[in-house]
Amino acid sequence: MPKIIPELREALIHAAKERILTSDSHDITIREIASDCNTAVGTVYNYFSSKDELLAAVMLEDWLNVIGHVNAAVAVSASFDDGVRAIDAALRGFVETYRPIWRSYTGGYGIIGEHHARLVGQIEGAVKSLAIRHKRSFTADEITVVSEMLIIISQRTTAELERALPIIRKII
């Protein structure tokens, strides 16, 4: 049974994050990350079953922070539109941080695609809270559609959000 060292797990996550943040490509290798941590490639697999699992661990902490910020912003939003803009800003920041990985996202494949339903579900919670806070009527399907829209829009310009806001208002 391999010896598991918690500090090495964190070092691997940190090294992978550094690679993501300084690379223009999502083609980060386990070999590079192992080298950054002065460990063998096989040792990395004692902690993560695949590169995608390692990248997911890297992104998870930041994603949870984003969701926390989104929920806090929604709770104090002065208007429905302000809340939608806050959700968009938080998503946009996350997408920009992990741009190399998001570039490979097609909605169903890769690391983001594997977690798509969970990402949408967490955004749905914020959108639903926003709708309730500002006394908007909605169905579960409408919340899902708006959440999906916000994920897509966050990958584009802020002008796209402003163009979509009237549509979002009609949906919810």
Which DSSP letter does residue 38 get?
A: T
Q: What is the pTM of this model?
A: 0.82
Angle at 117 between CA 114 and CA 121, to 5 degrees: 145
Cβ–Cβ < 8 Å for 147, 166: no
Q: What is the pLDDT of residues 63-79, one digit of tens each?
A: 999 999 999 999 999 99
Q: Where are the domains of the chain?
A: 6-44, 59-171
Residue with tokens 């890769």: 110
Q: Quick one: fold of 6-44? A: Arc Repressor Mutant, subunit A (1.10.10)
pLDDT of residue 114: 67
